[in-house]
């Protein structure tokens, strides 16, 4: 399931993060790449241990935790500390699949990467190229969103970032270990959650059918969730 999540960050929060990270020291993006993806990766990145990256990442994690659509779609158990990259003219990241396991450099956190996320920090009219292209069983999807919007997709997907031909693209990227590791089950729970919410607007939260469906949702989640 691919899920576009608008307005994860306000424009003021985007501006705050950009003010923090733009003046920081950027390094070759290959520092976080595995062997295969390192061959295809041409961009720049903030070091994971950078105090600026941690401060900006904390703003993002706080925003994620209060965004109901993100919580409903990801069912997050753990969120990898957000990282930050930038692509200038000619820079790209070729076809790759994200590592199944990610661990922070200090070893304090290790997660299974069920979901990948890209949070756009540059308005789309500021650059040409730079689309996130995801190949899945339903075809090829190109994504280029407003600053502050996020795309969530299975980390098992083949994906790439198209070459920049004008301007510069700045984003945050990170991974989520979900309470429900199976994408099909997670998608079913999300669809059920959204349907219950729509029906409740008409029938009211106290309607017996809404109560019953909500119970079924939580019983499925209880059945499929992992600690």
Give the Cα separation of 92 and 88 in Å (integer): 8
Give the Cα separation of 27 and 17 in Å (integer): 18
Q: Exposed, middle or buried: residue 191 (CB in 10 Å: 0-12, 13-18, 19+)?
A: exposed
Helices 183-203 and 208-224: crossing angle in degrees, nearest 10, is 160
- Residue 98 is assigned to a ligand binding site: yes
Ranges of beta strands (E only) in 137-221 are 139-143, 150-154, 158-161, 164-167, 169-178
Give the Cα separation of 219 and 213 in Å (integer): 10
Q: Exposed, middle or buried: residue 73 (CB in 10 Å: 0-12, 13-18, 19+)?
A: buried
- Residue 96 is assigned to a ligand binding site: yes
Q: Which residues are annotated as a binding site for 2-oxoglutarate?
A: 169
Q: Which residues are annotated as a binding site for Fe cation?
A: 96, 98, 159
Q: Which residues are annotated as a binding site?
A: 96, 98, 159, 169
């Amino acid at each position: 399931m691919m899920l576009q999540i608008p307005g994860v960050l306000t424009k003021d929060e985007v501006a705050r993060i950009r003010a923090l990270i733009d003046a920081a020291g950027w390094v070759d993006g290959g520092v976080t790449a595995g062997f295969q993806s390192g061959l295809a990766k041409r961009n720049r990145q903030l070091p994971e241990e950078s105090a600026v990256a941690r401060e900006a990442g904390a703003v993002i994690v706080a925003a994620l935790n209060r965004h109901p659509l993100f919580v409903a779609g990801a069912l997050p158990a753990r969120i990898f500390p957000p990282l930050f990259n930038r692509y200038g003219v000619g820079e790209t990241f070729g076809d790759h699949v994200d590592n199944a396991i990610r661990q922070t450099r200090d070893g304090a956190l290790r997660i299974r990467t069920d979901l990948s996320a890209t949070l756009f920090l540059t308005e789309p009219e500021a650059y040409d190229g730079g689309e996130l292209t995801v190949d899945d069983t339903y075809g090829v999807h190109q994504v280029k969103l407003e600053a502050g919007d996020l795309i969530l997709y299975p980390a098992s997907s083949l994906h790439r970032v198209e070459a920049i031909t004008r301007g510069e693209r700045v984003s945050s990227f990170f991974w989520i270990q979900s309470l429900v590791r199976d994408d099909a089950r997670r998608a079913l729970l999300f669809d059920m959650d959204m349907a219950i919410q729509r029906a409740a607007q008409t029938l009211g939260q106290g309607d017996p059918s809404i109560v019953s469906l909500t119970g079924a949702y939580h019983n499925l989640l209880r059945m499929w969730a992992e600690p």
